[in-house]
Amino acid sequence: MQKSEPPLENPEVPAARSRGRPRAFNRDMALAQATRLFWTKGYEATSIADLTQAMGIGSPSLYAAFGSKEALYAEALRYYGGQYEHLVWGGFLVAPTARAAVHALLMDSAKVLPGCTADMPRGCMVTLSAVGCEGHAELGELVQGARAVTLHRLLARIERAVSEGEISASIDTHGLARFVQTIQSGMSILARDGASRAELEDVAATAMLGWDARTRTMADR
Amino acid sequence: MQKSEPPLENPEVPAARSRGRPRAFNRDMALAQATRLFWTKGYEATSIADLTQAMGIGSPSLYAAFGSKEALYAEALRYYGGQYEHLVWGGFLVAPTARAAVHALLMDSAKVLPGCTADMPRGCMVTLSAVGCEGHAELGELVQGARAVTLHRLLARIERAVSEGEISASIDTHGLARFVQTIQSGMSILARDGASRAELEDVAATAMLGWDARTRTMADR
DNA sequence: CTATTTATGTATCAATCGATACATAAAGGA
DNA sequence: TCCTTTATGTATCGATTGATACATAAATAG
């Protein structure tokens, strides 16, 4: 179904240049362009013609390099994760407490989602793919799975906080994770509609008030 | 560009039956089907063939009755508002305080967004149209405007609460409205991914803790 | 140099897209 | 009953969709 990352030889070795005619385009550059298009317009609304034009190649080259439109979208989704995920999850992963982690996640989201770079689309590509993948079951499951990762990370971090005594064991960890996920998902929608970084930071701050009240319920932490 | 609701004669009079061959399908039924399709799959992913099949009519009848795919979507959006809006905004509009209004909005959203009826799509049609309307400028502005209505209503209600003394005048009303909007938008994403009513109600409850903490800041209400 | 391998550009595939032309069917007005 | 009006069904429009066939160009291996 998918190549699942071929043997993956030692990347330090330039891999002994292949034989035939060399590719006239940079695969990563092309993938970056495709990612931008899918991110901005969604899967259905992005045509092969759009893609080939943005990449500056012909359709045979696209199919030779990526296989199909669906496969290209899947690869774009991976590329998106590799390129942009750390902007939002970097602080979360290294924070010493669950509260600091969630605070970092929401504040970083507020910074990134409105499009921190000039040519960076607004909102999260994964979140905004919630609709429009109907009729493409595989892609639907793919993006739904990508969104599930958010909940899983939040839940794992909160449960760790419970085990470490940061948060009372009487807390509904799942509910708390769902709350944070809701905030972050909603921020993508607002960002796509033009909300500013300051506005989203304000939302994040209010959300943290909810977090504090919630984690105080029935325990003083 | 658009018919903008023709003269609209007195609806109480059956309007003296028209002359020619009567329509073989119920226009409202057909519009309901179209709304369901657009709601579920989005604008781009829904084809004319999908629509005519679901409505049980031929394409000429569709174009005679609705004009174009874009016009049909616009009408579906209006139909959606008329049919489902009160489920979410009914309690909000009659609540005596801003807090009660927001609480009602979020709790009703938690009830409706997971699909309260069996054949009711999950999530809000307007919210989930955030992406996929690129290249269709008119529709993009239409749904973006529809989403702006949410913020406007929230802001108006909160400002009224300030003027009535329910909420301190030192509160950032816009920020508070943005917070509630974020929660409700995020709930649509979670609902589309399968979140249950109980989960969303829990999210709403936590959001209200944020509301309470936020409205208490610098004033005791 | 020749042979092999790989990528490109052109040109096009069948299928589907949104949208109509046209003749026919079914109603009311005369 | 005939005429006008409106809606339907069939059949199809040009454009675009995702995806390829094919000949050619450009590289390496021998």
Please tell me which residue lies nearest to nucleotide D25, judged from CA to C1'. Answer: A21
* Residue B15 approaches strand C within 7 Å at CB: no
Digit-coded pLDDT (tens) for B48-79 = 999 999 999 999 999 999 999 999 999 999 99
User: What positions of strand C are covered by protein, i.e. any atom < 7 Å from a CB?
Assistant: 4-12, 16-22, 25-29
Does residue B219 carry a pLDDT above 50?
no
Q: Is pLDDT above 60 for B170? A: yes
Indicate the pLDDT class of residue A137, thresholds 50, 70 and 90.
confident
**Sequence-separated (6 or more) residues with CB below 8 Å from residue A41:** A50, B131, B132, B134, B135
Mean pLDDT of chain B: 90
> Is residue B142's pLDDT more than 60?
yes
Q: What percent of chain A has pLDDT over 90?
A: 83
B1-11 pLDDT, tens digit per residue, is 333 333 333 44
pLDDT band at B118 (very low <50, low <70, confident <90, very high): confident
Å between CA of A31 and C1' of D21: 26
Q: Is the pLDDT of residue A148 over 90?
A: yes
pTM of the entire structure?
Answer: 0.91
Question: Distance, angstroms, CA A77 to C1' D4?
Answer: 60
Residues within 8 A of A (CB atoms), B 182-211 only: 182-190, 192-193, 195, 199, 202-203, 206-211
Residues from chain A that touch B203, judged by Cβ atoms under 8 A, are: 175, 178-179, 182
Give me the CA A59–C1' D14 separation in Å, rounded: 22
User: Is A179's Cβ below 8 Å from some Cβ in B?
Assistant: yes
Query: What is the model's pLDDT at position A16?
Result: 58
Ranges A110-114, A134-138, A213-217, B96-100: which has the least confidence: A134-138
Mean pLDDT across the stretch B90-97? 98
What mean pLDDT is predicted for residues B136-147?
A: 90
- Contacts made by residues A141-149, CB under 8 angstroms, sequence distance 24+: A142/A74, A142/A77, A143/A77, A144/B193, A146/A77, A146/A81, A147/A185, A147/B189, A147/B193, A148/B193
Position B103 pLDDT exceeds 60: yes
Of B134, B183, B202, the CB nearest to A40: B134
Contacts of B198 in chain A (CB under 8 A): none
Torsion over CA: B26, B31, B32, B38 (sign):
positive
Residues in B touching A174 (Cβ below 8 Å): 199
Confidence of residue A15 (pLDDT cuts 50, 70, 90): low
Q: Which residue in B204, B34, B22, B35 sits closest to B105, CA to CA?
A: B204
Mean pLDDT of B22-26: 94
Asked whether residue A118 carries a pLDDT value surpassing 60, the answer given is yes
Q: Which residues of chain A lie closer than 8 angstroms to B147, CB-CB?
A: 189, 193
Asked whether strand C has any atom less than 7 Å from the CB of A16, the reply is no
